[in-house]
A and B are shown apart, each in its own frame.
Chain A
């Protein structure tokens, strides 16, 4: 089996329903080894369900999943032994210290007895928690808890790491800290699959972005390629009273412009194609956010 050539993660035609709701609707996704793939989508796109299916904590109704060459759900335990998971919801044992948690997980990941203390120390260093090693979790700050969650997923030096919304709900400074942590992972050649609904996070960290909407992948590529393909190079923002913008939108629809709301303005995408025909406004470079809105139909808050 050519482990190095096959995808680290492969989902084909995956469907997952919860009663009447279809959370994942025919998802196809390949993550090549050594790549940091950002699964970018609005809330409710099915990202977390997809992540849970990769650890067999959710079983798909249809389709095939393999992780690190293991077929799921039958061989998921082997797959889980070789990957690290950082969940979106904090599920740390609040009664334990950082070191105690990491030691328990080193055991669960079958790190041999003689190597456990070193593995724990290394994970503490990566997460910059050495000084808090013997502090109980309920006394840690939100940012430290997140770092500990990451350390827990890295204690056995996995070749694949799943990060589910790694910085959701954190303040900007803590987010920066986590980003450099994830960057370091990537630099070491670890395959990373990261779900996020923050455009900036995907743009900053991911080699490849897969945009997910309503349970399937709607586009995939390098962030800059996605911008060029779906939003062009320039965006033209027109400001004015709502009535005027509504009129402009109707005009644009007749002319076949790609448009989106951008704060108080109406943004016309691919502005470079319509030079000379556009009303007075402000030109700016097209962004991944523009492409995201085009692809998902979702406005960003």
Chain B
């Protein structure tokens, strides 16, 4: 018996082992060293274009919203868009490709790795990336004159938590999809409405009361509010704690759902 096997025999392996999670993340990190340019490009260019188009386009018509310069309003709002794009899409497409076509997860499952660990590793890795990419619109806005509060250092963390939640959302959909075409429904039917009703470009209070109530259930809305508060408006402890709790609950819930759906998909 080899030394490794002997060592493992002495202790019981758990469902969620840090070593396995880090191992799966090391695979993602190794792939990332090859394709970081394309990943980075697609994750930051689109939100930046939105920022410039809306900031300068609408910004010329609307001077301010709720006391905020429109560029600042959009600059902080688009952070959530950048997080959504860099988390939900890799969660959906990346995961689908890996389990369906490359069978990467099948290979992991033959090693001492469980579905819980695979899903958690993907969530953490893509969440970390989203935590970085989410800052790009803010940096662009700063370059155009936005003056952030010191609490803006919390933005990467907010982006990370939001990102993790949306990766889990993406993985859940990937596990339920029968073909990659199914994702069109998700993009048009869920993600686009979500990012348009998050208070990114205009306040959700502009909606009729019923729709506003629904928009408050949009996790992205809570991300937008948090970012806007820590960067320009100032922290409102109770309200912001509520926003954060909402994001955390959404993320943790979907993390479990993603594991459940993915296990159904991977284990016969």
Chain A residues near B (Cβ < 8 Å): 16, 18, 49, 52, 55-59, 77-78, 80-82, 85, 87, 89, 91-96, 100, 103-105, 107-112, 115, 152-153, 156-159
12 contacts between A and B (CB under 8 A): A49-B268, A77-B114, A78-B13, A80-B110, A81-B5, A82-B1, A91-B106, A93-B31, A100-B30, A107-B19, A108-B20, A108-B112
A157 touches B4 (CB 8 A): yes
Given contacts A57-B110, A107-B19, 7 further A-B contacts (CB under 8 A): A56-B267, A58-B267, A80-B112, A95-B34, A109-B112, A152-B107, A156-B4
Tell me, rounded to whole Å, the shortest Cβ–Cβ distance linking B250 to chain A: 30
B102 touches A94 (CB 8 A): yes
Q: Within the assembled complex, what's the spacing in Å between the Cα atoms of A133 and B58?
A: 55
Indicate whether A87 sits within 8 Å of B110 (C-beta atoms), given known contacts A57-B268, A82-B9.
yes
Q: Within the assembled complex, what's the spacing in Å between the Cα atoms of A91 and B98?
A: 10
User: A56 — nearest CB in chain B belongs to which residue?
Assistant: B267
Indicate whether A108 sits within 8 Å of B5 (C-beta atoms), given known contacts A77-B114, A93-B31.
no
| Chain A-chain B contacts (Cβ-Cβ < 8 Å), number | 109
Indicate whether A57 sits within 8 Å of B22 (C-beta atoms), given known contacts A77-B112, A87-B110, A105-B111.
no
Q: Within the assembled complex, what's the spacing in Å between the Cα atoms of A95 and B3?
A: 31
Indicate whether A159 sits within 8 Å of B1 (C-beta atoms), given known contacts A104-B23, A107-B23.
yes
Tally of contact residues, B, Cβ under 8 A: 36
**Interface residue B24 (Cβ < 8 Å from any Cβ of A):** yes
A78 touches B267 (CB 8 A): no
Q: Enumerate chain B residues within 8 angstroms of A152, measured Cβ to Cβ.
A: 107
Q: Within the assembled complex, what's the spacing in Å between the Cα atoms of A159 and B1?
A: 6
Q: Report, nearest first, the 6 A-B pairs whose CB atoms are least far apart.
A: A91-B103, A85-B110, A58-B268, A107-B23, A81-B112, A157-B2
Q: Within the assembled complex, what's the spacing in Å between the Cα atoms of A78 and B14?
A: 9
Tell me, rounded to whole Å, the shortest Cβ–Cβ distance linking B93 to chain A: 15
A57 touches B106 (CB 8 A): yes
**Interface residue B113 (Cβ < 8 Å from any Cβ of A):** yes
Q: Enumerate chain B residues within 8 angstroms of A159, measured Cβ to Cβ.
A: 1-2, 5
0/1 per residue, B1-28, Cβ < 8 Å to A? Answer: 1111101110011000001101110110
Q: Within the assembled complex, what's the spacing in Å between the Cα atoms of A210 and B7?
A: 33
B102 touches A87 (CB 8 A): no
Which among A56, A108, A112, A158 has the greatest number of chain B C-beta atoms within 10 A? A108
Q: Within the assembled complex, what's the spacing in Å between the Cα atoms of A96 and B31?
A: 7
User: A58 — nearest CB in chain B belongs to which residue?
Assistant: B268
B4 touches A110 (CB 8 A): yes
B23 touches A87 (CB 8 A): no
Q: Within the assembled complex, what's the spacing in Å between the Cα atoms of A56 and B104?
A: 16
A91 touches B8 (CB 8 A): no
Tell me, rounded to whole Å, the shortest Cβ–Cβ distance linking A84 to chain B: 9
Tell me, rounded to whole Å, the shortest Cβ–Cβ distance linking B229 to chain A: 40
A110 touches B8 (CB 8 A): yes
0/1 per residue, B88-113, Cβ < 8 Å to A? Answer: 00000000000000111011111111
Q: Within the assembled complex, what's the spacing in Å between the Cα atoms of A58 and B46?
A: 42
Q: Within the assembled complex, what's the spacing in Å between the Cα atoms of A146 and B266?
A: 23
B111 touches A80 (CB 8 A): yes
A96 touches B5 (CB 8 A): no
Q: Enumerate chain A residues within 8 angstroms of B266, measured Cβ to Cβ.
A: 57
Q: Within the assembled complex, what's the spacing in Å between the Cα atoms of A100 and B3?
A: 23
Q: Within the assembled complex, what's the spacing in Å between the Cα atoms of A159 and B114?
A: 21
Indicate whether A109 sits within 8 Å of B111 (C-beta atoms), given known contacts A57-B267, A159-B1.
yes
